[in-house]
Amino acid sequence: MEAKVRLYVDQPLGQGQAVALSGDQAHYLFAVMRLGKGAAVSLFNGRDGEWRAEVAEAGKRGGVLVCDGQTKALLMPPDLWLMFAPIKKARTDFIVEKAVEMGVRRILPVQTRHTNSERIRQDRLQAHAVEAAEQCGGTYVPDVADLVHLDRLLAAWPDGRRILWCDESLVGVSEGLAGAERGPWAILIGPEGGFSEAEKAKLRGMPAVLPVSLGPRILRADTAAVAALALWQAGLGDWT
Ligand code: SAH
């Protein structure tokens, strides 16, 4: 029987491995999706690839699945981070969802001078990343970091990781990814209000930074995130 449901679990997966379900997971599988004993479920945990599992016990508040074969090996996305200044809730959710679909290792909401929101619900965004991975067939779930100040992040910037800085003032000047090499990268998308002069000066002075234009139109941050991910994936990522 083919699995109709794909579920993320935070437990080891392997041949014959039993997986105990939480109350919420049991409710979803047995009450919402109406699966019974013997039904097949597709499981992944972000580490061990994807496994087919069968329902061994189905209860109201719990249950047990048993893995009976690997259906996909772990596919790690390229070593790309997405840094963005959080915007309104629905658009921030969209950015997290699209980043997971497009393939990133980490998602870092950053607070900039003109960031629209001062707080994020990290747990909610992480749950969103899990849902997006369940839906898009991914076997890896990027970690969503807590909100961090851009200044602090840049001050301790790791050696060897380059930054693709999406800067709307570069229309006609930017050479795109010409000359850029594969390796660890991070994409940086600013808030609706753009970057401050001090932030721009700091970024311009960093050798790790490659400023890039996303065309002659001003994109909303959520559109810019998807466009930048496509640009990077096509040129330096796993599309080619
Ligand atoms: N403050 C700007 C708009 C910011 S748009 C203004 O009102 O003019 C939000 C973010 O999306 C920007 O900080 C930038 O990172 C990215 N972005 C939007 N359009 C872009 C473009 N054409 N090229 C590069 N980056 C862009």
Q: How far apart are CA 200 and CA 40, in angstroms?
A: 52
Q: How far apart are CA 31 and CA 165, in angstroms?
A: 47
Burial class (CB in 10 A: 0-12, 13-18, 19+), 6: middle
pLDDT at 34: 96
What atom of ligand 1 comes closest to residue 195's alpha carbon?
13
Nearest CA to ligand 1 atom 20: 168
pLDDT at 198: 97
Same domain, yes or no: 59 and 86 = no
Answer for the pair 63, 57: CB distance below 8 angstroms, yes or no: yes
Nearest CA to ligand 1 atom 1: 194
Burial class (CB in 10 A: 0-12, 13-18, 19+), 85: buried
Q: Does any domain span residue 164?
A: yes
Pocket test of ligand 1: the residue of 94, 110, 168, 175 to mutate, having most ligand atoms within 8 Å of its CB, is 168
Q: Which one-letter DSSP state was computed for residue 240?
A: -
Same domain, yes or no: 93 and 40 = no
Q: How far apart are CA 86 and CA 191, in angstroms?
A: 7
pLDDT at 76: 97
44 Cα to the center of ligand 1, angstroms = 36
Q: Does any domain span residue 193?
A: yes
Nearest CA to ligand 1 atom 26: 168
Same domain, yes or no: 18 and 131 = no
CATH assignment at residue 38: 2.40.240.20
pLDDT at 217: 93
The radius of gyration computed from the CA coordinates of the chain, to the nearest angstrom, equals: 20
63 Cα to the center of ligand 1, angstroms = 48
pLDDT at 119: 87
Answer for the pair 26, 59: CB distance below 8 angstroms, yes or no: yes
pLDDT at 141: 98
Ligand 1 contacts (CB < 6 A) are 166-168, 189-190, 192-195, 213-215, 217-219, 221, 224
pLDDT at 174: 84
Joined together, the tokens standing for residue 69 give: 């074969």
Q: How far apart are CA 38 and CA 111, in angstroms?
A: 48
Same domain, yes or no: 108 and 203 = yes
179 Cα to the center of ligand 1, angstroms = 23
Same domain, yes or no: 133 and 185 = yes
pLDDT at 175: 84
Considering its fold, how many domains does the chain have in total?
Answer: 2
153 Cα to the center of ligand 1, angstroms = 20
Same domain, yes or no: 226 and 199 = yes
Q: Does any domain span residue 1?
A: no
Same domain, yes or no: 110 and 187 = yes
pLDDT at 137: 95
What is the domain range of residue 22? 6-72
Joined together, the tokens standing for residue 140 give: 């890896």
How many CB atoms are located within 10 Å of the residue 5 CB?
A: 15
Q: 139-184 pLDDT, tens per residue?
A: 999 999 999 999 999 999 999 999 999 999 888 788 899 999 999 9
Final residue of a domain: which of 72, 106, 125? 72
Mean pLDDT by groups of 10 residues along the chain of 240 residues: 90 98 96 96 98 97 97 97 94 97 98 87 97 96 97 97 95 87 98 95 97 95 98 96
- The residue to which tokens 């109201």 are assigned: 60
Same domain, yes or no: 36 and 118 = no
